[in-house]
Amino acid sequence: MKLIIENLSKTYPNGVQALKNINLTIEKGMFGLLGPNGAGKSTLMRTLATLQEPDQGSIYLGAIDVLKEKLDVRKTLGYLPQEFGVYPRVNAEMLLDHLAVLKGITNRKERNELVEALLHKTNLYNDRKKNLGGYSGGMKQRFGIAQALLNNPKLIIVDEPTAGLDPAERNRFLNLLSELGENTIVILSTHIVDDVKELCTDMAILNQGEVMLRGNPLQVLDDIQGKIWKKIITKEELPEYKQNFQVISDKRVSGRPEIHVYSTTQPAEGFVSIEPDLEDVYFSIINAPEPKTVTQDNEIVCAN
């Protein structure tokens, strides 16, 4: 089953164009939707989850017309929103059981088995009698996944799930998602490059409502091989370098700025070619002075 998004656009009543003609085909596996805050990720996720309407475009999940056959989508969708609220005074097992009833699983034996299996899958079984109010951020997120899996979904959407998780919880959570990606389409929306780097088989970078880059993380890395250069400069030199070179990022190394520059040839003396990582891909898209577009074969090119 494929998810096919075509010409999807959305402008909010305040004039913000959150999605501009989005085209994406997403297959089974883990898909990373990467973009800075305000890029339009949540708007896209909520639209896919049938919670809001676009102005134009179409979305198909297999044969289901997502924008028209909302109930059919909801039957096969698992959604973990950015703000996932839980009832703090109820324990995980009870709430999961209750949500299973709401999802139409009325046979008690079947429900008990399912709830138990999901608590095991999300590693919450030993904490199943604890009230959700006492759960850590990571446990709450795993509970969110457990509830999203109640209807055995074919499409799982998780919106910014790792924000606020400590490294161990984040790992556990991402491993759980990646297991799910073996049989389903999992869309992980995030502004954290590492989330995508580690697990996704396919990705897109969204910025200002547009898909700026699309491809497999290894392939997009391959495309910028030999084009990222670094140099350590002084703080005072930074504005000048930003003006003269395509500086995609700067960070402090031992208190001095280390800049990364995008260039097909050595930008100037003192620049050293480096092995790019996905963050360089991301910043070359997000911080490019000139607008960049993507060719058919996913090579990054400048629009002018």
- Residue 14 interacts with ligand ADP (CB under 6 A): yes or no: yes
- The least distance separating ligand ADP from the CB of residue 48, rounded to whole angstroms, comes to 12
- Residue 18 interacts with ligand ADP (CB under 6 A): yes or no: yes
- Residue 54 interacts with ligand ADP (CB under 6 A): yes or no: no
- The least distance separating ligand ADP from the CB of residue 17, rounded to whole angstroms, comes to 8
- Residue 8 interacts with ligand ADP (CB under 6 A): yes or no: no
| φ and ψ of 275, to 5 deg | -75, 115
The Cα angle at residue 210 between residues 288 and 278, in degrees rounded to 5: 50
Q: Choose the binding region for ligand ADP from 12-20, 97-105, 143-151, 247-255 (rule: CB under 6 A).
A: 12-20
Q: Contacting ligand ADP (CB under 6 A), which of 8, 24, 40, 188?
A: 40
Q: Contacting ligand ADP (CB under 6 A), which of 3, 5, 30, 43?
A: 43
Closer to ligand ADP by Cβ: residue 43 or 141: 43
- The least distance separating ligand ADP from the CB of residue 159, rounded to whole angstroms, comes to 7
- Residue 12 interacts with ligand ADP (CB under 6 A): yes or no: yes
- Residue 41 interacts with ligand ADP (CB under 6 A): yes or no: yes
Output the CA–CA distances (angstroms, integers) from residue 90 to 98, 114, 116, 148, 216, in the order listed: 10, 19, 16, 18, 41
- The least distance separating ligand ADP from the CB of residue 41, rounded to whole angstroms, comes to 3
The Cα angle at residue 172 between residues 167 and 173, in degrees rounded to 5: 95
Q: Contacting ligand ADP (CB under 6 A), which of 2, 7, 16, 302?
A: 16
Q: Give the footprint of ligand ADP on this chain (CB under 6 A).
A: 12, 14, 16, 18, 35, 37-43
